[in-house]
Amino acid sequence: MGENSTNELLNRIEESYPKFSKGQKRLADFIQKEYDKAVFMTAAKMGTEVGVSESTVVRFASQLGYKGYPGFQKALEELVRNKLNSIQRMEVAYGRMDHSEILSTVLQSDIEKIKQTLTMIDQEAFELAIDTLLNAKRIYVVGIRSCAPLAEFLSFYLNLICDNVTAVHTNSSSETFEQLIRIGENDAIIGISFPRYSMRTLKALEFASNRKAKVITLTDSVHSPMNLYSSCNLIARSDMASIVDSLVAPLSVINALVVAMCMKKQEDVIKTLETLEDIWDEYQVYSRDELNPVDDHVEMKKKEKEES
């Protein structure tokens, strides 16, 4: 608890912890470890999650000195917004570590996340996601901040497999909804979000759900708020004691999605790639910025003969 004591809410919890009942201590532990999830919860939902009554949650908020649950929730939002413990967590995990150990430690941590993902992921949900994307008239992919590269990567490869794929750019809320304005019941959207969860991504999924579109999520937990509007949840582990979000496992799930979809549409994908190869050759897309080691080697031999 000590590394988070500079935050007002966590400081109050630390000071009051010895006086808490068993139920309140469970609430305190949940908030300290899962504040990214707690911020989206009502008092009733938090009570259900922890195993206490709604009134216990409200009393807990009041005992901490907040004006009911709404005041407590504002303090939670402040904690999530500032994410004060991100650097502190990194210092705890890596602060005393020799620099020579960092590479192996971080890579090993990523390996563990992939192993955990393999045991957690629902094969039926994975198959449903493939069928949903293949049968969709239009596909929208949304992910912001650190998840934006995942969304771009997925969109790039989906575009080789399917027609009408849109990577939703999310510089502002209005821009998001403008791009989703035509989404409907024959379409699918895949939302990618990991702690700290993106409210903008959640709103995009809510909008799509209200328009009867099929909603797929790629997130870190069955308890993620991203799953509120989805009919298909893909779970990948991402947590890591670092300021850098570990997104290796989610990327592996995306790779698996793309490969599986390619296998289902082999002929179409081959035609697309053959067409692209012809276009690249015709417009010399790769002639100057992609080296061919064999050609270079042959050319060097020619020059050597000329010089001799």
Does residue 67 carry a pLDDT above 80?
yes
- How far, in Å, are 76, 85, 224 from residue 82 at the CA level? 10, 9, 20
What's the CA gap between 261 and 62, in Å, rounded?
Answer: 52
Residue 48's nearest CA partner among 40, 39, 57 is 57
Rounded to 10 deg, the angle between the 148-161 and 266-282 helix axes is 100
- Could you tell me the residue ranges of all domains in the chain? 2-82, 113-264, 268-307
pLDDT of the residue at 286: 64
Of 26-35, 212-221, 230-239, the one with minimum mean pLDDT is: 26-35
pLDDT (tens digit per residue) in 173-218: 678 888 998 999 999 999 999 887 888 899 999 999 999 999 999 9
pLDDT of the residue at 90: 54
Cβ 64 vs Cβ 16: under 8 Å = yes
State which H helix or E strand residue 127 sits in. Answer: helix 123-135
Rounded to whole angstroms, the maximal C-alpha distance in the chain is: 92
What's the mean per-residue pLDDT of the chain?
A: 82
Does residue 84 carry a pLDDT above 50?
no
Alpha helices in 169-308 (DSSP H): 173-179, 199-210, 248-264, 266-282, 293-307
Cβ 229 vs Cβ 206: under 8 Å = yes
Query: How long a stretch of residues is the chain?
Result: 308
Q: In the CATH hierarchy, which top-level class contains the domain 113-264?
A: alpha beta
- How far, in Å, are 86, 87, 103 from residue 92 at the CA level? 10, 9, 17
pLDDT of the residue at 219: 93
Cβ 162 vs Cβ 187: under 8 Å = no
Rounded to 10 deg, the angle between the 248-264 and 99-120 helix axes is 50
What's the CA gap between 229 and 94, in Å, rounded?
Answer: 37
Instruction: Categorize the per-residue pLDDT at 294 as very low, low, confident or very high, splitting at 50, 70 and 90.
Output: low
Does residue 248 carry a pLDDT above 90?
yes
Sheet holding 165-167, edge to edge: 165-167, 139-142, 188-192, 214-219, 232-235
Tell me what the mean pLDDT of segment 21-48 comes to.
85
Highest-scoring range by mean pLDDT, 116-125, 126-135, 231-240: 126-135
Residue 203 CA, chain-centre distance (Å), reads: 15
pLDDT (tens digit per residue) in 28-41: 888 887 777 787 78
* Strands 214-219 and 232-235, bridge-based pairing: parallel
Does residue 92 carry a pLDDT above 60?
no
pLDDT of the residue at 252: 96
What's the CA gap between 212 and 87, in Å, rounded?
Answer: 41
Pick the CATH number of 2-82 from 3.40.50.720, 3.40.50.300, 3.90.930.12, 1.10.10.10: 1.10.10.10
